[in-house]
Amino acid sequence: MRDSSIARRSLFAGSGAAAARPLWLSSATKKSDIKIGMATGLSDDLLRFLKQLGVEWIATSLRATQGAAVNPDLTRGAVLTSIDGAQGGIGGPPGGLSGPWKEGEVRNVARRVEAAGMRLGNIMMHGFPNVILGTAERDRDIENVQQSIRIAGRLGIPVVEYNFFGLRNVEGLDRRPGRGGATYRGFDDARVKDRTPVPNLGAASDEQMWERLRYFLKAVVPVAVESHVRLALHPNDPPMPSYRGIAQPFATLEQWKRLVNFIPSPANGITLDTGVTAEIGENVVEVIRYFGRKDCINHVHFRNVRTHKPRYNYTETFIDEGQVDMLAAMRAFREVGYSQMIVPDHSPSIAGDAEGYGGWGFALGYIQALLKATS
Protein backbone atom coordinates (compact mmCIF):
# COMPACT_ATOMS: atom_id res chain seq x y z
CA MET A 1 0.00 0.00 0.00
CA ARG A 2 1.43 3.38 -1.03
CA ASP A 3 1.15 5.05 2.40
CA SER A 4 1.51 2.06 4.71
CA SER A 5 4.95 3.20 5.89
CA ILE A 6 3.51 6.64 6.67
CA ALA A 7 0.68 5.03 8.60
CA ARG A 8 3.12 3.08 10.69
CA ARG A 9 5.27 6.14 11.41
CA SER A 10 2.32 8.29 12.41
CA LEU A 11 0.42 5.73 14.47
CA PHE A 12 2.96 3.21 15.71
CA ALA A 13 6.27 5.11 15.83
CA GLY A 14 8.25 5.00 19.03
CA SER A 15 9.66 8.04 20.81
CA GLY A 16 12.82 8.55 22.73
CA ALA A 17 10.91 9.43 25.88
CA ALA A 18 9.09 6.12 25.64
CA ALA A 19 12.30 4.17 24.96
CA ALA A 20 11.08 3.07 21.53
CA ARG A 21 7.74 2.06 22.99
CA PRO A 22 5.23 2.18 20.09
CA LEU A 23 2.89 5.14 20.17
CA TRP A 24 -0.12 2.83 19.98
CA LEU A 25 0.91 1.47 23.38
CA SER A 26 1.13 4.85 25.10
CA SER A 27 -1.50 7.18 23.66
CA ALA A 28 -2.97 7.98 27.08
CA THR A 29 0.26 9.82 27.93
CA LYS A 30 0.30 12.14 24.91
CA LYS A 31 -1.74 15.06 23.71
CA SER A 32 -5.04 14.12 22.09
CA ASP A 33 -4.95 14.01 18.29
CA ILE A 34 -8.50 12.98 17.44
CA LYS A 35 -9.14 12.03 13.83
CA ILE A 36 -12.51 12.89 12.34
CA GLY A 37 -13.85 9.93 10.42
CA MET A 38 -16.86 8.26 8.93
CA ALA A 39 -18.02 4.65 8.89
CA THR A 40 -19.26 4.19 5.36
CA GLY A 41 -19.45 2.40 2.07
CA LEU A 42 -17.08 3.42 -0.68
CA SER A 43 -19.13 4.93 -3.49
CA ASP A 44 -17.33 7.71 -5.35
CA ASP A 45 -20.11 10.21 -4.65
CA LEU A 46 -20.10 9.53 -0.92
CA LEU A 47 -16.31 9.64 -0.61
CA ARG A 48 -16.27 12.96 -2.46
CA PHE A 49 -19.00 14.32 -0.17
CA LEU A 50 -17.06 13.30 2.93
CA LYS A 51 -13.78 14.78 1.71
CA GLN A 52 -15.52 18.11 1.10
CA LEU A 53 -16.68 18.12 4.74
CA GLY A 54 -13.17 17.60 6.09
CA VAL A 55 -13.33 13.89 6.89
CA GLU A 56 -9.80 12.50 7.22
CA TRP A 57 -10.26 8.82 7.97
CA ILE A 58 -12.63 6.08 6.85
CA ALA A 59 -13.95 3.03 8.68
CA THR A 60 -15.55 0.35 6.54
CA SER A 61 -16.53 -3.29 6.54
CA LEU A 62 -15.29 -6.28 4.59
CA ARG A 63 -17.44 -9.35 4.14
CA ALA A 64 -15.39 -12.51 4.50
CA THR A 65 -14.64 -13.65 0.96
CA GLN A 66 -12.96 -17.00 1.46
CA GLY A 67 -13.92 -20.23 3.12
CA ALA A 68 -17.15 -22.17 3.18
CA ALA A 69 -20.39 -21.02 4.71
CA VAL A 70 -21.21 -22.38 8.13
CA ASN A 71 -23.76 -25.11 8.51
CA PRO A 72 -27.05 -23.53 7.37
CA ASP A 73 -28.92 -25.40 10.10
CA LEU A 74 -27.06 -23.24 12.62
CA THR A 75 -27.98 -19.94 11.02
CA ARG A 76 -31.45 -20.56 9.64
CA GLY A 77 -33.71 -17.96 11.20
CA ALA A 78 -30.82 -16.24 12.95
CA VAL A 79 -30.64 -13.26 10.62
CA LEU A 80 -33.49 -10.89 11.31
CA THR A 81 -34.25 -7.76 9.31
CA SER A 82 -35.01 -4.52 11.11
CA ILE A 83 -37.34 -1.75 10.04
CA ASP A 84 -34.51 0.17 8.32
CA GLY A 85 -33.03 -2.82 6.55
CA ALA A 86 -30.15 -3.36 8.96
CA GLN A 87 -29.42 -6.99 9.53
CA GLY A 88 -27.82 -8.80 12.39
CA GLY A 89 -27.16 -12.39 13.28
CA ILE A 90 -24.43 -14.84 14.01
CA GLY A 91 -21.23 -12.81 14.16
CA GLY A 92 -22.31 -10.09 11.79
CA PRO A 93 -23.87 -9.77 8.35
CA PRO A 94 -26.12 -12.28 6.61
CA GLY A 95 -24.67 -15.22 4.77
CA GLY A 96 -22.72 -16.87 7.56
CA LEU A 97 -19.42 -16.67 5.67
CA SER A 98 -16.42 -17.82 7.63
CA GLY A 99 -12.97 -17.07 6.29
CA PRO A 100 -9.96 -14.78 6.37
CA TRP A 101 -9.63 -11.55 4.43
CA LYS A 102 -7.76 -11.49 1.13
CA GLU A 103 -4.76 -9.18 1.39
CA GLY A 104 -5.18 -7.87 -2.15
CA GLU A 105 -8.80 -6.98 -1.47
CA VAL A 106 -7.93 -5.05 1.69
CA ARG A 107 -5.11 -3.27 -0.15
CA ASN A 108 -7.49 -2.25 -2.93
CA VAL A 109 -9.95 -0.82 -0.40
CA ALA A 110 -7.16 1.18 1.23
CA ARG A 111 -6.02 2.51 -2.14
CA ARG A 112 -9.54 3.53 -3.07
CA VAL A 113 -9.87 5.51 0.15
CA GLU A 114 -6.45 7.10 -0.41
CA ALA A 115 -7.38 8.08 -3.96
CA ALA A 116 -10.24 10.10 -2.44
CA GLY A 117 -7.75 11.92 -0.19
CA MET A 118 -8.45 10.05 3.04
CA ARG A 119 -6.99 7.15 5.00
CA LEU A 120 -8.38 3.73 5.96
CA GLY A 121 -8.26 3.56 9.73
CA ASN A 122 -10.70 0.85 10.76
CA ILE A 123 -12.12 -2.34 9.26
CA MET A 124 -15.06 -4.17 10.80
CA MET A 125 -14.36 -7.87 11.32
CA HIS A 126 -17.05 -10.41 10.49
CA GLY A 127 -17.02 -14.11 9.83
CA PHE A 128 -16.40 -16.06 13.05
CA PRO A 129 -19.85 -17.55 13.75
CA ASN A 130 -18.57 -20.80 15.21
CA VAL A 131 -16.79 -18.91 17.97
CA ILE A 132 -20.01 -17.21 19.00
CA LEU A 133 -21.97 -20.44 18.71
CA GLY A 134 -19.30 -22.37 20.60
CA THR A 135 -19.12 -25.17 18.01
CA ALA A 136 -16.28 -27.59 17.35
CA GLU A 137 -15.21 -25.49 14.35
CA ARG A 138 -14.38 -22.39 16.40
CA ASP A 139 -10.61 -22.88 16.19
CA ARG A 140 -10.84 -22.74 12.40
CA ASP A 141 -12.68 -19.43 12.61
CA ILE A 142 -10.12 -18.09 15.07
CA GLU A 143 -7.28 -18.96 12.71
CA ASN A 144 -9.08 -16.98 10.02
CA VAL A 145 -9.43 -13.99 12.33
CA GLN A 146 -5.75 -14.20 13.26
CA GLN A 147 -4.79 -14.18 9.60
CA SER A 148 -7.00 -11.15 8.94
CA ILE A 149 -5.46 -9.23 11.86
CA ARG A 150 -1.99 -9.91 10.47
CA ILE A 151 -3.11 -8.54 7.10
CA ALA A 152 -4.34 -5.35 8.79
CA GLY A 153 -0.99 -5.03 10.54
CA ARG A 154 1.02 -5.50 7.37
CA LEU A 155 -1.01 -2.83 5.60
CA GLY A 156 -0.75 -0.33 8.45
CA ILE A 157 -4.46 -0.36 9.34
CA PRO A 158 -4.50 0.59 13.03
CA VAL A 159 -7.90 -0.69 14.23
CA VAL A 160 -9.98 -3.82 13.64
CA GLU A 161 -13.49 -3.55 15.04
CA TYR A 162 -15.85 -6.44 15.78
CA ASN A 163 -19.15 -7.40 17.37
CA PHE A 164 -19.86 -10.37 19.61
CA PHE A 165 -23.57 -11.21 19.68
CA GLY A 166 -25.52 -14.33 18.90
CA LEU A 167 -28.62 -12.43 17.83
CA ARG A 168 -28.95 -8.69 17.47
CA ASN A 169 -32.27 -7.41 18.76
CA VAL A 170 -33.33 -5.67 15.58
CA GLU A 171 -36.99 -6.65 15.97
CA GLY A 172 -37.36 -4.06 18.73
CA LEU A 173 -36.29 -1.16 16.51
CA ASP A 174 -38.87 1.28 15.19
CA ARG A 175 -39.24 4.64 13.45
CA ARG A 176 -40.34 7.76 15.34
CA PRO A 177 -41.24 11.32 14.31
CA GLY A 178 -38.55 13.89 15.04
CA ARG A 179 -37.76 17.57 14.88
CA GLY A 180 -39.34 19.41 11.96
CA GLY A 181 -40.46 16.24 10.20
CA ALA A 182 -37.23 14.30 10.52
CA THR A 183 -37.42 10.58 11.25
CA TYR A 184 -35.61 9.03 14.20
CA ARG A 185 -34.86 5.43 14.99
CA GLY A 186 -35.96 4.11 18.36
CA PHE A 187 -36.06 0.93 20.38
CA ASP A 188 -38.84 -0.47 22.54
CA ASP A 189 -38.48 -3.79 24.33
CA ALA A 190 -42.26 -4.12 24.50
CA ARG A 191 -42.18 -5.05 20.82
CA VAL A 192 -40.11 -8.17 21.45
CA LYS A 193 -40.24 -9.17 25.11
CA ASP A 194 -42.34 -12.26 24.39
CA ARG A 195 -40.16 -13.57 21.54
CA THR A 196 -39.08 -17.19 21.92
CA PRO A 197 -35.71 -18.83 21.11
CA VAL A 198 -34.84 -19.33 17.45
CA PRO A 199 -35.01 -22.95 16.27
CA ASN A 200 -31.58 -24.60 15.89
CA LEU A 201 -29.94 -21.95 18.10
CA GLY A 202 -31.50 -22.62 21.48
CA ALA A 203 -30.44 -20.61 24.51
CA ALA A 204 -27.08 -19.46 25.87
CA SER A 205 -26.39 -18.06 29.34
CA ASP A 206 -24.22 -15.05 30.13
CA GLU A 207 -21.49 -17.33 31.46
CA GLN A 208 -21.54 -19.46 28.31
CA MET A 209 -21.25 -16.39 26.09
CA TRP A 210 -18.50 -14.93 28.26
CA GLU A 211 -16.55 -18.21 28.08
CA ARG A 212 -16.74 -18.08 24.28
CA LEU A 213 -15.58 -14.47 24.23
CA ARG A 214 -12.78 -15.22 26.69
CA TYR A 215 -11.59 -18.14 24.53
CA PHE A 216 -11.56 -15.84 21.52
CA LEU A 217 -9.63 -13.07 23.31
CA LYS A 218 -6.90 -15.44 24.51
CA ALA A 219 -6.28 -16.45 20.91
CA VAL A 220 -6.52 -13.14 19.05
CA VAL A 221 -5.22 -10.42 21.40
CA PRO A 222 -1.60 -11.69 21.31
CA VAL A 223 -1.74 -11.65 17.50
CA ALA A 224 -3.06 -8.08 17.57
CA VAL A 225 -0.19 -7.05 19.86
CA GLU A 226 2.37 -8.62 17.53
CA SER A 227 0.72 -6.97 14.53
CA HIS A 228 0.46 -3.48 16.12
CA VAL A 229 -3.30 -3.55 15.66
CA ARG A 230 -5.86 -2.37 18.18
CA LEU A 231 -9.05 -4.45 18.53
CA ALA A 232 -12.29 -2.60 19.28
CA LEU A 233 -15.32 -4.54 20.48
CA HIS A 234 -18.54 -2.63 19.89
CA PRO A 235 -21.13 -2.84 22.70
CA ASN A 236 -24.21 -4.94 22.04
CA ASP A 237 -26.77 -2.55 20.59
CA PRO A 238 -29.65 -2.57 21.37
CA PRO A 239 -28.14 -3.26 24.82
CA MET A 240 -30.59 -5.85 26.08
CA PRO A 241 -29.32 -8.41 28.63
CA SER A 242 -30.77 -11.26 26.59
CA TYR A 243 -32.62 -11.74 23.33
CA ARG A 244 -34.62 -14.83 22.37
CA GLY A 245 -32.85 -16.78 25.09
CA ILE A 246 -29.31 -15.82 24.06
CA ALA A 247 -27.42 -13.62 26.52
CA GLN A 248 -25.73 -10.49 25.21
CA PRO A 249 -22.20 -10.65 26.70
CA PHE A 250 -21.22 -7.03 26.06
CA ALA A 251 -24.28 -5.01 27.01
CA THR A 252 -23.45 -3.49 30.43
CA LEU A 253 -20.73 -1.28 31.85
CA GLU A 254 -19.53 -4.10 34.10
CA GLN A 255 -19.19 -6.37 31.07
CA TRP A 256 -17.18 -3.69 29.24
CA LYS A 257 -14.86 -3.47 32.24
CA ARG A 258 -14.63 -7.26 32.44
CA LEU A 259 -13.38 -7.36 28.87
CA VAL A 260 -10.58 -4.82 29.16
CA ASN A 261 -9.45 -6.07 32.56
CA PHE A 262 -9.33 -9.69 31.40
CA ILE A 263 -6.31 -8.99 29.17
CA PRO A 264 -5.07 -5.48 30.02
CA SER A 265 -3.59 -4.21 26.76
CA PRO A 266 -4.25 -1.37 24.33
CA ALA A 267 -4.79 -4.13 21.78
CA ASN A 268 -7.79 -5.38 23.77
CA GLY A 269 -10.10 -2.40 23.67
CA ILE A 270 -13.58 -1.18 22.94
CA THR A 271 -15.57 1.02 20.63
CA LEU A 272 -16.93 3.61 23.02
CA ASP A 273 -20.38 4.46 21.73
CA THR A 274 -21.70 7.54 23.51
CA GLY A 275 -25.23 6.64 22.46
CA VAL A 276 -25.12 3.12 23.89
CA THR A 277 -23.51 4.47 27.07
CA ALA A 278 -26.50 6.73 27.58
CA GLU A 279 -28.95 4.01 26.54
CA ILE A 280 -27.81 1.84 29.45
CA GLY A 281 -28.11 4.76 31.88
CA GLU A 282 -24.42 5.46 32.48
CA ASN A 283 -22.56 8.77 32.78
CA VAL A 284 -20.82 9.25 29.45
CA VAL A 285 -18.02 11.48 30.75
CA GLU A 286 -17.13 9.13 33.59
CA VAL A 287 -17.14 6.13 31.26
CA ILE A 288 -14.79 7.94 28.88
CA ARG A 289 -12.45 8.70 31.76
CA TYR A 290 -12.43 5.12 33.02
CA PHE A 291 -11.57 3.48 29.72
CA GLY A 292 -9.48 6.37 28.42
CA ARG A 293 -7.15 6.24 31.42
CA LYS A 294 -6.62 2.56 30.66
CA ASP A 295 -5.82 3.46 27.03
CA CYS A 296 -8.35 1.00 25.68
CA ILE A 297 -10.76 3.25 23.78
CA ASN A 298 -9.83 2.22 20.26
CA HIS A 299 -12.73 3.68 18.29
CA VAL A 300 -15.59 6.09 19.03
CA HIS A 301 -19.17 6.29 17.79
CA PHE A 302 -20.22 9.83 18.68
CA ARG A 303 -23.99 10.22 18.82
CA ASN A 304 -26.82 11.32 21.07
CA VAL A 305 -29.99 9.68 22.38
CA ARG A 306 -32.97 10.34 24.58
CA THR A 307 -33.39 7.46 27.03
CA HIS A 308 -36.94 6.84 28.26
CA LYS A 309 -36.20 3.64 30.19
CA PRO A 310 -32.54 2.59 30.36
CA ARG A 311 -31.84 -0.37 28.06
CA TYR A 312 -35.51 -0.91 27.25
CA ASN A 313 -36.77 2.22 25.48
CA TYR A 314 -34.85 5.07 23.83
CA THR A 315 -34.84 7.38 20.81
CA GLU A 316 -31.77 8.13 18.67
CA THR A 317 -31.83 11.91 18.16
CA PHE A 318 -29.84 14.50 16.29
CA ILE A 319 -26.44 15.02 17.87
CA ASP A 320 -27.41 18.39 19.40
CA GLU A 321 -30.67 17.54 21.13
CA GLY A 322 -30.31 14.34 23.17
CA GLN A 323 -29.45 13.94 26.83
CA VAL A 324 -25.66 13.66 26.40
CA ASP A 325 -23.58 16.82 26.84
CA MET A 326 -21.50 16.27 23.71
CA LEU A 327 -19.14 19.16 24.47
CA ALA A 328 -18.35 17.64 27.86
CA ALA A 329 -17.85 14.27 26.18
CA MET A 330 -15.41 15.73 23.66
CA ARG A 331 -13.51 17.47 26.46
CA ALA A 332 -13.25 14.12 28.25
CA PHE A 333 -11.79 12.47 25.13
CA ARG A 334 -9.23 15.28 24.97
CA GLU A 335 -8.50 14.91 28.68
CA VAL A 336 -7.59 11.23 28.42
CA GLY A 337 -5.45 11.72 25.30
CA TYR A 338 -7.71 9.86 22.92
CA SER A 339 -6.13 9.92 19.45
CA GLN A 340 -8.03 7.46 17.28
CA MET A 341 -11.10 8.09 15.12
CA ILE A 342 -14.40 9.70 16.08
CA VAL A 343 -17.29 8.95 13.73
CA PRO A 344 -20.97 9.94 13.78
CA ASP A 345 -23.48 7.12 13.95
CA HIS A 346 -27.21 6.44 13.55
CA SER A 347 -28.04 9.82 12.06
CA PRO A 348 -31.76 10.68 11.75
CA SER A 349 -33.27 10.96 8.29
CA ILE A 350 -34.06 14.49 7.12
CA ALA A 351 -37.33 14.97 5.26
CA GLY A 352 -36.76 15.83 1.60
CA ASP A 353 -33.13 14.71 1.61
CA ALA A 354 -33.22 12.33 -1.34
CA GLU A 355 -29.57 11.26 -1.15
CA GLY A 356 -29.64 10.75 2.61
CA TYR A 357 -26.45 12.74 3.24
CA GLY A 358 -27.94 15.67 5.17
CA GLY A 359 -28.05 14.10 8.61
CA TRP A 360 -24.46 12.95 8.30
CA GLY A 361 -23.34 16.39 7.15
CA PHE A 362 -25.00 17.99 10.18
CA ALA A 363 -23.35 15.53 12.58
CA LEU A 364 -19.91 15.89 10.98
CA GLY A 365 -20.13 19.69 11.12
CA TYR A 366 -21.12 19.53 14.78
CA ILE A 367 -18.18 17.23 15.54
CA GLN A 368 -15.81 19.56 13.67
CA ALA A 369 -16.98 22.46 15.78
CA LEU A 370 -16.51 20.52 19.01
CA LEU A 371 -13.01 19.48 17.95
CA LYS A 372 -12.07 23.12 17.37
CA ALA A 373 -13.70 24.23 20.62
CA THR A 374 -11.67 21.71 22.63
CA SER A 375 -8.33 21.91 20.81
> In the chain, how many H helices and how many E strands?
12, 18
* pLDDT over threshold 80, residue 71: no
- Is there a contact between 230 and 149 (Cβ–Cβ < 8 Å)? no
Integer Cα distance of 200 and 50 in angstroms: 43
* pLDDT over threshold 50, residue 300: yes
Please give the pLDDT value at position 30. 60
Greater model confidence, 98 or 347: 347
Q: Cα dist. 374→32, 39, 227, 275 in Å?
A: 10, 23, 32, 20
Integer Cα distance of 333 and 355 in angstroms: 32
Task: Sort strands 313-316 and 183-188 into parallel, antiparallel or unpaired.
Answer: antiparallel
Please give the pLDDT value at position 63. 55
Q: Which of 9, 14, 37, 8 is nearest to 156 (CA)?
A: 8
| pLDDT range class, residue 61, cuts 50, 70, 90 | confident
| pLDDT range class, residue 20, cuts 50, 70, 90 | very low
| pLDDT range class, residue 80, cuts 50, 70, 90 | very low
* Residue 185, φ and ψ in degrees, nearest 5: -95, 145
For residues 122-146, one letter each, b for 16 or more C-beta atoms within 10 angstroms of the residue's C-beta and e for the rest, the string is bbbbbbbbbbbbebebbebbbebbb
Q: For all residues of the chain together, what is the average pLDDT?
A: 84
Q: Where are the domains of the chain?
A: 4-373
Q: Which of 197, 163, 213, 248 is nearest to 80 (CA)?
A: 197
| pLDDT range class, residue 299, cuts 50, 70, 90 | very high
What is the mean predicted confidence (pLDDT) over 323-351? 97
* pLDDT over threshold 90, residue 304: yes
Least trusted range by pLDDT, from 84-88, 98-102, 225-229, 256-260: 84-88
Q: Which of 163, 109, 133 is nearest to 301 (CA)?
A: 163
Most confident by average pLDDT, 12-26, 125-139, 186-200: 125-139
Indicate the fold that domain 4-373 takes in CATH.
TIM Barrel (3.20.20)
pLDDT in tens, 127-155: 898 999 899 999 999 999 999 999 999 99
- DSSP H or E stretch at residue 138: helix 138-154
